[in-house]
Amino acid sequence: MSAIVTLTMNPAVDLSGTAERLLVGRKTRCGVQVREPGGGGINVAGGIHALGGDALALYAAGGPSGIELERLLEEREVKQQRIVIQGDTRNDLAIREQATGKLFHFVFSGPTLSEEEWRRCLETVNGFQPVPDYLVLSGSLPPGVPEDFYAYAARAATERGTRVILDSSGPALRPALEAGVFLVKPNRKEFGQFGVPQDANHDTYLDAMQEMVNDDLAQVVIVTVGADGALLVSRAGDRLHLRPPPIEGVSPVGAGDSFVAVLTHQLAYGSSLVEAFRYGIAAAAAAVSTSGTQLYSSDAIEQMYRSMLE
């Protein structure tokens, strides 16, 4: 069994390409199509694998796209376990407009899962032996899956001694926190559901994050704030705001997954929380500096990390 298991309930085959311009009501001629495995936990597992880490991607997928997703992961030699469902796995689309450099990202809802299917997913993730050190619950929930699905998964994993890292949004976020997790990483927009305006100052964010820690919703709360880096509050008393070096943003796609992948990888292999946090910020900055849907390179992360220490 891997030290890290990621669970992706709503994976995708990510399609990307370029077009000179996107024009309303007219055909848009695109360049060469790129097809890649996608979805929060799959991206995290792939990122950890790229760093030489030990992670297994567990995901629910079906139909022709589900078969293609499995093949794409096999080609990248990412450890995986597919839970077969009846519905066809979604395709998402990212198009870069060459005339402006803007990236247009189209994300679809995904197939509807039956109760038998999502319960089978819970049984699978809760039945791993030996018990993994970390379980990453990442990405959206597809139609048919109850809002408290991650809460069930988090509670069962915690009872078995696994550290749960949660990176989700929308209605699934709050129930999972009420179940208790080791670490949660919302972005500024996602954190807004806890009553903190997106334009609030950092002290307001840190105070709200401290309340979550005090209420035992999470041992560690990290909020990413875009180009301004990320904030961290922990039960151990950490209260930090770290920024990446100035960079030229190329594509925001994959920044959050890169952050979680590298953070989890560092924690699993013995780094301190603060060091892992700094590496996560460096990874997000490296991903933003990379075109397309690629997450990062290890060299780019190390360069960003060293710049943060200067």
* Catalytic residue ranges: 257
Asked if residues 61 and 69 have their Cβ atoms less than 8 Å apart, the reply is yes
- Closest to 222 (Cα-Cα) out of 235, 209, 208: 209
What residue type is 197 in one-letter code?
P
Please, what is the Cα angle at 191 between 134 and 270, to 5 degrees? Answer: 25
What's the alpha-carbon Rg for the chain, to the nearest Å?
19
- Name 236's Cβ contacts closer than 8 Å, sequence gap at least 6: 273
Alpha-carbon span 236 to 168, nearest angstrom: 24
First-last CA distance in the chain? 39
Alpha-carbon span 75 to 80, nearest angstrom: 11
- Name 228's Cβ contacts closer than 8 Å, sequence gap at least 6: 243
How many CB atoms within 10 Å of residue 54?
Answer: 17
Asked if residues 247 and 285 have their Cβ atoms less than 8 Å apart, the reply is yes
